[in-house]
């Protein structure tokens, strides 16, 4: 029996995740769809937001940068949150089509743009995130040299995209439209969560979530935490978790979408 056939069998089973306790740490308000997929497969989904997404502190600077997007040759949206917060700040972005060349990091970001009838190119895969996007012919040195690029993102994100584009000769600016921050969690509630619903597998969707999880976990549960299986969205999150001392299985999803994370949970259960 091939691995693909095994996976097909698991996907078709209503109880594929039966008995599994899955902590979903997506930002507050963004976990419902994945939790429903987990519950539909018989798993116990626990919402445990480790970050929350809020507007960037300098809204005026972000709005000014977005208003000038048509003056750039290229615009790159980093995430679905970048799309949402950018359009909240500057609704006229829906009219940017044809005024500059647009790109999206990941299929989920491209899909979010398409909801507003904004088309954007994305990477061909299988590389993840900005590394995938940077393989496109339209972003190679012979094309971007001397061209201006606006990257729409959150504050304090990874710098690889800007660094590579500048090495290729582009002039790069940021429009930082949102920020991540750690939500408040009650220590007593966390103790209760560990007693009643300890995780079999944890879904982590950012580097900051890894750090928050370590900081918030009660000291007496740290050893148990580090043995937990993880499903993560990128090699960067994976390497952060391994450096932090996680010793359980760590699987990297093929993308950031709920579907990709769910498929990876099924793969974890298959193993």
Three-state SS string over 136-178 comes to CHHHCHHHHCCCEEEEEEECCCCCHHHHHHHHCCCEEEEEEEE
Distance CA 205, CA 208 (A): 9
CA 58 to chain centre: 23
Q: Residue 246 above 80 pLDDT?
A: yes
Which DSSP letter does residue 75 get? E
pLDDT bin (cut points 50, 70, 90) of residue 1 is very low
Peptide bond into 126 cis (omega under 30): yes
Q: What is the pLDDT of residue 14?
A: 64
Q: Residue 12 above 60 pLDDT?
A: no
Q: Region 2-28: what's the mean pLDDT? A: 71
Residue identified by tokens 């496109």 is 136
User: Which region among 84-93, 120-129, 167-176, 184-193 has the lowest average model confidence (pLDDT)?
Assistant: 120-129
Q: What is the pLDDT of residue 84?
A: 94
Q: What is the pLDDT of residue 10?
A: 46
Q: Which of 77, 82, 120 is nearest to 98 (CA)?
A: 120
Q: How large a percentage of the chain has pLDDT more than 70?
A: 94
pLDDT bin (cut points 50, 70, 90) of residue 106 is confident
97 vs 57, which has greater pLDDT? 57
Q: Residue 9 above 50 pLDDT?
A: no
Q: Region 80-94: what's the mean pLDDT? A: 93
Q: Residue 48 above 80 pLDDT?
A: yes
Cβ–Cβ under 8 Å, residues 21 and 199: yes
Q: What is the pLDDT of residues 175-234, one digit of tens each?
A: 999 998 888 888 888 888 898 999 999 999 988 899 999 998 988 999 999 999 999 988
Q: What is the pTM of this model?
A: 0.79
Q: What is the pLDDT of residue 190?
A: 85
Q: Region 52-72: what's the mean pLDDT? A: 93
Q: Region 18-32: what's the mean pLDDT? A: 91
Q: Residue 104 above 70 pLDDT?
A: yes
């Amino acid at each position: 029996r091939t691995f693909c056939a095994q996976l097909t069998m698991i996907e078709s089973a209503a109880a594929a995740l039966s008995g599994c306790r899955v902590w979903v740490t997506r930002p507050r308000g963004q976990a419902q769809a994945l939790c429903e997929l987990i519950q539909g497969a018989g798993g116990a989904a626990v919402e445990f937001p480790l970050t929350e997404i809020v507007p960037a502190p300098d809204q005026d600077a972000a709005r000014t940068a977005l208003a000038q997007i048509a003056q750039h040759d290229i615009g790159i949206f980093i995430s679905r949150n970048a799309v949402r917060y950018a359009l909240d700040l500057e609704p006229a972005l829906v009219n940017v089509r044809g005024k500059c060349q647009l790109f999206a990091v990941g299929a989920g970001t491209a899909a979010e743009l398409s909801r507003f009838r904004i088309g954007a190119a994305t990477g061909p895969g299988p590389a993840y995130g900005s590394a995938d996007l940077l393989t496109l012919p339209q972003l190679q040195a012979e094309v971007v040299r001397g061209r201006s690029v606006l990257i729409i993102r959150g504050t304090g994100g990874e710098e690889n995209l800007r660094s590579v584009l500048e090495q290729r000769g582009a002039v790069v600016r940021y429009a930082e439209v949102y920020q991540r921050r750690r939500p408040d969690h009650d220590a007593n509630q966390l103790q209760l969560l560990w007693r009643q619903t300890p995780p079999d597998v944890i879904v982590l969707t950012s580097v900051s979530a890894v750090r928050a999880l370590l900081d918030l976990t009660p000291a007496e549960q740290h050893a148990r935490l580090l043995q937990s299986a993880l499903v993560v969205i990128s090699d960067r999150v994976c390497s952060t978790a391994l450096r932090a001392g996680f010793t359980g299985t760590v699987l990297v999803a093929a993308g950031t979408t709920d579907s990709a994370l769910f498929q990876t949970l099924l793969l974890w259960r298959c193993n």
